[in-house]
Structure 1
Amino acid sequence: MTVLEDIITGVREDLHERRLQVGDAAIRARAQAAPPARDAYAALGGHADQSQRDATLRVISEVKRRSPSKGSLADIPEPAELARQYREGGATAISVLTEQRRFGGSLADFDAVRAAVDLPLLRKDFTVDAYQIHEARAHGADLVLLIVAALDDHELSAFLDLTHDLGMNALVETHTDEEIERALRVGARIIGVNVRNLKTLDVDRENFARLAGSIPDSVVIVAESGIRDSNDVALYGSHGADAVLVGEALVKDNDPVAALRTFIEAGSAAKPPRGR
């Protein structure tokens, strides 16, 4: 069993317990009653008119306590306070881990962040069921994560359609050329290129340039994993990233506000106009 498969097994078990507490009909009703989602595509620099795209690199800052590759990262006793620091530092959006077993997250963390900031929020979890998409919207999410490697073509298409029907956007995560092709076929507007190998958890930053080059300008490209400092942000920016998703480097920094500002400055200076 791969790391991804093991995580998904736990996700399904935890989902079953939540479903017993709030049924499908109830979660759909809550999703429909939620306030409108924020336009994360536009916030991350997406624009139908490519001449309107700018050279600013955006940062999606992550509330992340643990990871399978690094173990414990930070306690984060007050997710809302960290989110406010991210906002002060210039984050465009905030990602909140809600997977509990491997990442130490929860929907309670998400709710705390949602109450604290008005930025677009990504509900960062392993989406394997439509229930989770309605659940994300019910809690005020503007983005959900769809991992191509975890879904077949029918699921990927259906989940993306549902996300859009609910007014949200999806960060469609890819790791290979084939996964990028699948993402583009279903109409993904925000594609994440994750340079972490799902089987070994190793990171190869050089993979980003090779993979991102096949993604059209109309799509927002998000670089995921492997960001240690501003040099890594600049590297991704120089190879076409419109945004970077950063967790570990920020939660372990004693001054995430200053770190964020440095990341944005370095990435924007390296980023060619219109993301290329």
Structure 2
Amino acid sequence: MNILDKIAARKREEVAFLKEEVPAESLQLLPHFNRRCISLKENLKNSSTGIIAEFKRRSPSHPEINLEADAATVTAGYETAGASGISVLTDEEFFGGSLDDLAIARETVKLPLLRKDFMIDEYQIIEAKAMGADVILLIAAILKPDEIKTLSKKAKDLGLEVLLEVHNEEELKNAIFDTVDMIGVNNRNLKTFEVDLQTSKDLAEKIPNQFVKISESGISETSAITELQKSGFKGFLIGGNFMKTEDPGKSASEFIQKLK
């Protein structure tokens, strides 16, 4: 069992518990549930840099990125830096995040917010909307094609955009639906944790042009973005490179200024 399978199994237990504790009907009464979402897709299309800055405290491969990070401070810094959107990790056990971080980010910034978690149930999509997300992440490696179709349709019904994450051509071929807005290529091998940007370049031409292309993981130099832009990528998700510094917002600002 690789780390992704382990996380997905734990997530199923979490969701079953939460459904009992906080019924979906209660989530739908929260103020943000009826809020009109901000489009990350359009922001990326109209951006020359396309940075999606990520808020995360740790990960399975890096257990101590920035454990004391404050969601309001960091996300405000990202917005000031000129990010096109912000990704917020909401998984607690493996990434040190929470839905509170997402809610705090929503109260802090006006940028589109991606709820980054391991989505396996429609309940989590209702949660995401209720807590202020604009976009949800679906990971092809832990979902069957019919699950991707069902979950992405639910997201669209609620006005959310959908970012589908793939790791290889097989996942891509089995997961292309009209209810997906953006396709992200994760450059990290989930079995070895090794990162190779060539993964994005190899898959770029296989992603239909109807989808905004996003490259994820392992991007630490502006030169890498320049190269990936040549392959048609409009979005670049960067987390650890900013979060490992004392001032993630400042780091993001310096990075984005170099790109302009």
For 1:64-75, list aligned pairs within 5 A: 64-75=56-67
User: Structure 1 221/189 Cα, relative in aligned 2: closer, same or farther at 3 Å?
Assistant: same
CA deviations 1:102-147 (Å, max 9, x no partner) are 1000011111111111110011100000000011001111000100
Query: Aligned pair in 2 of structure 1 residues 185, 165: CA closer, same or farther (>3 Å)?
Result: closer
What corresponds to 2:144 in structure 1?
152
Separation in 2, partners of 1:33, 1:217: 31
Unaligned runs of 5+ in 2: none
Aligned partner of 1:44 in structure 2 is 44
Q: Secondary structure at the match of 1:184?
A: coil
8 A Cα contact 2:141 2:166, kept in partner: yes
Identity of aligned residues (%): 36
Q: Do 2:76 and 2:249's aligned partners in 1 also have CA atoms closer than 8 Å?
A: no
1:170-215, CA deviations, whole angstroms, 9 ceiling, x for partnerless residues?
Answer: 1100111122222324542200000111222211111111111211
1:161 Cα deviation after fit: 0.7
Change in Cα spacing, 1:183 to 1:158, as seen in structure 2 (3 Å) is same
Moved more, 167-176 or 204-213: 204-213
Q: Compute the TM-score of the two structures, normalised by the length of structure 2.
A: 0.92
Distance 1:59 1:16, change over 3 A: same
Q: Note the aligned Cα RMSD (angstroms).
A: 2.0
Task: Give the structure 1 partner of residue 188 of structure 2.
Answer: 196
Contact kept, 8 Å, 2:114 with 2:134, in 1: the verdict is yes
Within a 5 Å distance, the mapping from 1:1-276 to structure 2 comes to 1-30=1-30, 33-45=33-45, 56-265=48-257, 267=259
Question: Structure 1 length normalisation: TM-score?
Answer: 0.87
| Farther-moved stretch of structure 1 (229-238 vs 70-79) | 229-238
Could you report, residue by residue, the CA deviation over 1:36-75 in whole angstroms, capped at 9, with x for unpaired residues? 1112221221xxxxxxxx5713111111111111221002
Distance 1:77 1:256 in 2: 9
> Matches of 1:164 and 1:265 in 2, distance apart?
34
Measured after TM superposition, the shift of residue 3 of structure 1 is 0.8
Query: 2-side partners of 1:77 and 1:56: how far apart?
Result: 28
Which amino acid letter does the alignment assign opposite residue 13 of structure 1? E
Return the alpha-carbon distance in structure 2 between the equivalents of residues 33 and 185 of structure 1: 25
CA contact (8 A) 1:89 1:256 kept: no
Amino acid at match of 1:164: K
What letter matches 1:249 in structure 2? N
Given residue 44 of structure 2, which amino acid in structure 1 is its aligned partner? Answer: L
Q: Cα distance, 1:14 vs. partner? A: 2.0
Letter in 2 for 1:144: I
Structure 2: how far apart are the matches of 1:150 and 1:266?
A: 36
Unaligned runs of 5+ in 1: 46-53, 269-276
State the number of aligned residues.
260
CA distance in 1, matches of 2:171, 2:179: 13
> Could you tell me how far apart the structure 1 residues matched to 2:145 and 2:155 are?
15
Q: Tell me: CA distance 1:85–1:181, structure 2 relative to 1, closer, same or farther (3 Å).
A: same
